Chain A
């Protein structure tokens, strides 16, 4: 799903982000997010890292969870707040302008689920390592980590195909927004290094997008 880099264009005007992203992914992302959030249960405490306009946040709230959505982009957050109000989820959802570097302020073992969609690919290597370490700290024992993101394909042929599709899209996106995203390298390894156990790993056909479900070990 090389087309995800184009979301940076949509992000430059947050109000059209959702419609654009749906069009861009032909509704695929909706299905992925629906599937990704399926382990979430009523009454659980959920953190959405890089919530953007709240696509995952609202889904978790619809399942009866109490959700905190964090993002560094105030414009996206204001769209997310409007959507939450429209869906009458305001009491269950808290949005905060906060980056991953501030996860240190979250209490330890306080979340049943931490989820993140298309955010890890925007972090630097240091930030991702720190984030995964913090996720392990703030998850309750047995808690879930749910991730959907762009990854760098392992297979060299797929890597080449991914690159060829991606380069022109990256150029267009750069010209318009002067930014880009970086597909995550070795995501499963990094998740394991942080002390989490991978329960399922679903790559797409091209191997450049992955749905990852991991769990924090139960207390011994």
Chain B
């Protein structure tokens, strides 16, 4: 694939980022793979495959595309669309077993919240190795004898990723805003679109400036939009926009109560819609729409034997394993985003979620029940 088409794919698919975009499942040969070449498996989101292929340039390997229903691997794994069955299916129904002598498959680390290594091994004989979070680190990971540095394990939210998320939200929301305004407020359309894009870029690009004040511990006050950061964030932002509006209208001689009322209301709606799941749009916070954000991971020291799977799969580097003492600790527990990957993978069930009321959610229910779009695990309390 040449650079131009890669750039076009990235632009178009960033605009359409909120929609799933499936690609063909099955085996893709990278370079000239042989019987001992590594096997890498990922989901069938089109953009993922384009990026993984680019990262694997010049490497002889098999890329096995499993069915994640066209959704990126992290969301698909957390939402139950990419699970043990998807991986087993790809390994058994493709011809990969005839093509290689070994039985080691490298999976993206972010799939660890939905795929159990034990189940895959017992049902297929394949051993799962957790690869890096980002495709760009795959060559170094392969070169280092399948060892990950702490950086390779951590999901981060750099400027490029924030720009992508801003565009991913701005495009569909500005489209909807334009459609709503079309019948009765036609003259406002360019300004409305500019407002949406401007607010989205502002919110995501300025994220590091205010993220330290955002807290995942917010209680439900009133209604869901004002959950994250107790609503203060949205109100401050709206205040800034209102001041901007007044200044703009005074400078351009358009100042009137009606003008401030109309655009004040429009900007409030835009802020609410854009920030509805701001936390869930970042890889460094848990979605504010899900009740899981209030859970806490507990480490049962009596059960822990230092297998260190938690350290390998945690995308926030919360854990520190001590190989000599055969124990793990959580020195960076405050970074936890409650993805549940460590709980799913722990071979000794030493990790579990506890709710604010003190209820224990056993590892088994985290393994079995994934979250739906409304952020509810499909499990009833006590059942």
**Which has the most chain A C-beta neighbours within 10 Å: B69, B79, B85, B93?**
B93
With a cutoff of 8 Å between Cβ atoms, the chain B residues found around residue A102 in the complex are 88, 92, 123
Shortest beta-carbon distance, B48 to chain A, in Å? Answer: 16
With a cutoff of 8 Å between Cβ atoms, the chain B residues found around residue A14 in the complex are 378
Residue A38, interface by CB 8 Å:
no
Chain B residue at minimal CB-CB distance from A72: B85
A99/B88 in contact, CB under 8 A:
yes
Residue B83, interface by CB 8 Å:
yes
Residue B94, interface by CB 8 Å:
yes
With a cutoff of 8 Å between Cβ atoms, the chain B residues found around residue A13 in the complex are 378
**Which has the most chain B C-beta neighbours within 10 Å: A14, A75, A101?**
A101
Q: Which residue of the partner chain, among B20, B83, B93, B368, contacts A127 with CB atoms under 8 Å?
A: B93
Shortest beta-carbon distance, B301 to chain A, in Å? Answer: 30
With a cutoff of 8 Å between Cβ atoms, the chain A residues found around residue B71 in the complex are 178
Residue A154, interface by CB 8 Å:
no
Residue B67, interface by CB 8 Å:
yes
A178/B88 in contact, CB under 8 A:
no
Within 8 A of A (CB), among B325-383: 368-369, 372-373, 378
With a cutoff of 8 Å between Cβ atoms, the chain A residues found around residue B115 in the complex are none
Residue A104, interface by CB 8 Å:
yes
Q: A102-B88, A126-B94 are in contact. Are A75 and B369 (CB under 8 A)?
A: yes
B378/A179 in contact, CB under 8 A:
no
B372/A130 in contact, CB under 8 A:
no
A interface footprint on B77-114 (CB within 8 Å = 1, 0 otherwise):
00101010100110111100000000000000000000
B93/A129 in contact, CB under 8 A:
yes
With a cutoff of 8 Å between Cβ atoms, the chain A residues found around residue B85 in the complex are 72, 99, 101
**Which has the most chain A C-beta neighbours within 10 Å: B20, B79, B378?**
B378
B373/A177 in contact, CB under 8 A:
yes
With a cutoff of 8 Å between Cβ atoms, the chain A residues found around residue B94 in the complex are 126
Q: Which residue of the partner chain, among A104, A125, A127, A177, contacts B372 with CB atoms under 8 Å?
A: A177
B interface footprint on A113-155 (CB within 8 Å = 1, 0 otherwise):
0000000000011110110000000000000000000000000
Q: A12-B372, A72-B85, A177-B373 are in contact. Are A101 and B93 (CB under 8 A)?
A: yes
Residue B264, interface by CB 8 Å:
no
Residue B33, interface by CB 8 Å:
no
With a cutoff of 8 Å between Cβ atoms, the chain B residues found around residue A178 in the complex are 20, 69, 71, 79, 81, 373
**Interface residue tally on A, bucketed by range:** 20 to 34
Shortest beta-carbon distance, B308 to chain A, in Å? Answer: 29
Chain B residue at minimal CB-CB distance from A78: B383
Residue A74, interface by CB 8 Å:
yes
Q: Which residue of the partner chain, among B20, B26, B79, B368, contacts A126 with CB atoms under 8 Å?
A: B26
With a cutoff of 8 Å between Cβ atoms, the chain A residues found around residue B88 in the complex are 99, 101-102
B20/A174 in contact, CB under 8 A:
yes
Within 8 A of B (CB), among A51-84: 72, 74-75
A126/B93 in contact, CB under 8 A:
yes
With a cutoff of 8 Å between Cβ atoms, the chain A residues found around residue B79 in the complex are 178
B369/A126 in contact, CB under 8 A:
no
Chain A residue at minimal CB-CB distance from B373: A178
**Which has the most chain A C-beta neighbours within 10 Å: B67, B92, B368, B372?**
B92
Q: A75-B378, A126-B25, A174-B20 are in contact. Are A179 and B93 (CB under 8 A)?
A: no
B89/A99 in contact, CB under 8 A:
yes
How distant is the Cα of A180 from the Cα of B88 in the complex, in angstroms? 21
How distant is the Cα of A12 from the Cα of B376 in the complex, in angstroms? 10
Chain A residue at minimal CB-CB distance from B123: A102
Q: Which residue of the partner chain, among B19, B26, B89, contacts A101 with CB atoms under 8 Å?
A: B89
B89/A179 in contact, CB under 8 A:
no
Shortest beta-carbon distance, A59 to chain B, in Å? Answer: 25
B368/A74 in contact, CB under 8 A:
yes
Chain B residue at minimal CB-CB distance from A175: B373
With a cutoff of 8 Å between Cβ atoms, the chain B residues found around residue A101 in the complex are 85, 88-89, 91-93
With a cutoff of 8 Å between Cβ atoms, the chain A residues found around residue B123 in the complex are 102
With a cutoff of 8 Å between Cβ atoms, the chain A residues found around residue B89 in the complex are 99-101, 124, 126-127
With a cutoff of 8 Å between Cβ atoms, the chain B residues found around residue A130 in the complex are 92-93
A124/B372 in contact, CB under 8 A:
no
**Which has the most chain B C-beta neighbours within 10 Å: A127, A129, A180?**
A127
B67/A104 in contact, CB under 8 A:
no
Shortest beta-carbon distance, A8 to chain B, in Å? Answer: 10
Residue A176, interface by CB 8 Å:
yes
How distant is the Cα of A127 from the Cα of B92 in the complex, in angstroms? 9
- 10 tightest A-B CB contacts, nearest first: A99-B85, A130-B93, A101-B89, A101-B92, A72-B85, A124-B25, A126-B93, A101-B88, A127-B93, A124-B67
Give 23 A-B contacts (CB < 8 Å), ordered by A residue.
A12-B373, A12-B378, A13-B378, A72-B83, A74-B368, A74-B369, A75-B378, A99-B85, A101-B89, A102-B88, A102-B92, A104-B92, A124-B93, A125-B25, A126-B26, A127-B93, A174-B19, A174-B20, A178-B20, A178-B69, A178-B71, A178-B79, A178-B373
